[in-house]
Amino acid sequence: MLELATILTALAVALGLLRLMFARADADRVIAVDVLTFQLLGLSVLLAFHDRSALALQFAFALSLLGFLSTVVLSRLIR
């Protein structure tokens, strides 16, 4: 079941990257970066469950902080 969730999340990351590359407006790119952050967060949590590793959860925590800060900064820049 974890393998299926990982495959589906990786597919969602690929679609998010396509959305980031082909977005026309800057606001769409900011939203795509935010969505990609959450998808990568999900992948790191799935990795933590699979490996039973606390390091992946620490990476997920750091990624969530960086994702929040990048969304705030990018939204301030396009305003």
CA–CA distance, 33 with 49 (Å, rounded to integer): 24
For residue 61, what are the domain limits? 2-78
Measuring CA to CA, which residue among 38, 37, 35, 47 is closest to residue 5? 47
Domains identified in the chain, total number: 1
Task: Give pLDDT tens digits along the chain (79 positions).
Answer: 889 999 999 999 999 999 999 999 988 999 999 999 999 999 999 999 999 988 989 999 999 999 999 989 988 888 7
pLDDT for residue 16: 94
